[in-house]
Homo-oligomer: A and B are copies of this chain.
Amino acid sequence: MTDIDDVLAKLRQFVAARDWSQFHDPKNLAMLLASEAGELVAEYRWVKGDDADAHSQRPEPRARIAAEIADVGIALLLLCDRIGLDLGQAIADKLAANEARYPPDKSRGRPDRPA
């Protein structure tokens, strides 16, 4: 994958050149992320589940989906950068917690937490 640290460096320059960090408190960035997640959901809301993989490969919707995913990623990186959180480490920590929370033998083929 393209290195995220390089992307983050570009993102910081983009924000600095526009003096936008004044708007980027963590509360506002959480809202940005939710609104971009909403736009991503909109791309799939009328697509049948069985067709969602193929839909994601068709050039026109794929370009829109990639742009919405990027917007979500930008919001997520901005938030992590703002609060000084290492996204990769946070995910690794959560996965470790989920290993215990969802034991493979009790969770196999069941998408929700075992009772």
Tell me the A residues contacting B by CB distance below 8 Å: 1-8, 10-11, 14, 17-20, 22-23, 25-28, 30-50, 52-53, 55-57, 62, 65-67, 69-74, 76-77, 79-80, 82-95, 97-99, 102, 104, 107-112
Contacts and interface: CB of A to CB of B under 8 A. Distances in A.
A41 B46 contact: no
Contacts of A91: 2, 7, 11, 70, 73-74, 77
B70 A93 contact: yes
Contacts of A44: 26-27, 30-31
B46 A28 contact: yes
B53 A73 contact: no
A37 B26 contact: no
